[in-house]
Amino acid sequence: MTTVFERLKAAALSDWNRYVDHPFIRQMEAGTLPQPVFQQYLIQDYLFLIQYARAHALAIYKSRTLEDMHIAQGGLNAILGEMNLHVRLCERWGLSPAQLQAAPEHQATVAYTRYVLDCGQSGDLLDLNVALAPCMIGYAEIGRRLAPALAARPEHPYREWISEYSGQAFQQAAQACIAHMDKLAAHAMTEARFAELTAIFAQAARLEADFWQMGFELADHNA
């Protein structure tokens, strides 16, 4: 059976591909991504995850059943766990969590996180899950794609990042997200609704591509 996620991805394929196949990802895979670009990205991603955790918490609030609440809680836990990666890597560069939190949010971070939060505030749990989906499922797809680069190169500079997203915990969180969208759509999906959801999904995918691009811009700016 085709999942709602597969239908959304097919309907927004060019935006999806610009996100998961961005030069940032290609350079990361090859190990040629400049370190300052990665650092700027990761600092913004820490700020992103704080807001993104709020969006998962909003999904708990938007849940009308305990079952949905538990699923949303699983998503929240995955995000809070993911931030350990950011703290660990940034610590090595001499940045404490307090310093990370004090960094100014870039427009791309503000745009993406507040867009997702607004989808949840103005819409229902399905709208919110579709807005959250490119993040969870896209990073899992990227993790799987980049994992073979680690086997080929034991000293890969982006080993920890790739391991995080290709790892079982994150892969499972992405699978849960796919299954949850199917469950919610079984109650609420019409063809008109699908068109609206595609617009949300495509917008979030474009905001993801802008997020990668921001790393290059900030590194250029600070050079």
Ligand X SMILES: Cc1ncc(CO)c(N)n1
- Which residue in the list 90, 135, 164, 177 is annotated as catalytic? 135
Applying CB under 6 A, among 16, 48, 158, 216 the residue interacting with ligand X is 48
Q: Quick one: which of 5, 19, 38, 139 contacts ligand X (CB under 6 A)?
A: 139
Neighbouring CB atoms inside 10 A of 93's CB total 11
Which residue intervals of the chain are DSSP H helices?
A: 4-11, 13-20, 23-30, 35-61, 66-92, 97-102, 107-122, 125-152, 159-166, 168-188, 191-222
Residue type, 163: S
Token representation of residue 176 = 């849960």
Q: Which two tokens stand for residue 67?
A: 């079952």
Shortest reach from residue 208's CB to ligand X, in Å:
6
Closest separation in Å from C-beta 20 to ligand X: 11
Site string for ligand X, 189-218 (x = CB under 6 A): -------------------x--x-------
Query: Which is closer to ligand X, CB of 189 or CB of 213?
Result: 213
Stretch that binds ligand X, among 22-30, 41-49, 151-159, 197-205 (CB under 6 A): 41-49
Q: Are 100 and 88 in contact (CB under 8 A)?
A: no
Q: What are phi and psi of 155, to 5 degrees?
A: -95, 35
156/178 Cα distance (integer angstroms): 30
How far is the C-alpha of 125 from the C-alpha of 104, rounded, in Å? 30
Catalytic residue among 29, 141, 164, 208: 208
Indicate if 208 belongs to the active site.
yes
Binding residues for ligand X, total number by CB under 6 A: 8
Distance in Å, CB of 82 to ligand X, minimum: 6
Q: Per CB under 6 A, does 49 bind ligand X?
A: yes
The span from the CA of 42 to the CA of 86, in Å, is: 7
Q: Which is nearer to ligand X, 126 or 209 (CB)?
A: 209
Residue nearest to ligand X (CB): 135
**Is residue 91 annotated as part of the catalytic site, yes or no?**
no
Residues with catalytic function: 135, 208
- Contact residues toward ligand X (CB under 6 A) are 45, 48-49, 82, 135, 139, 208, 211
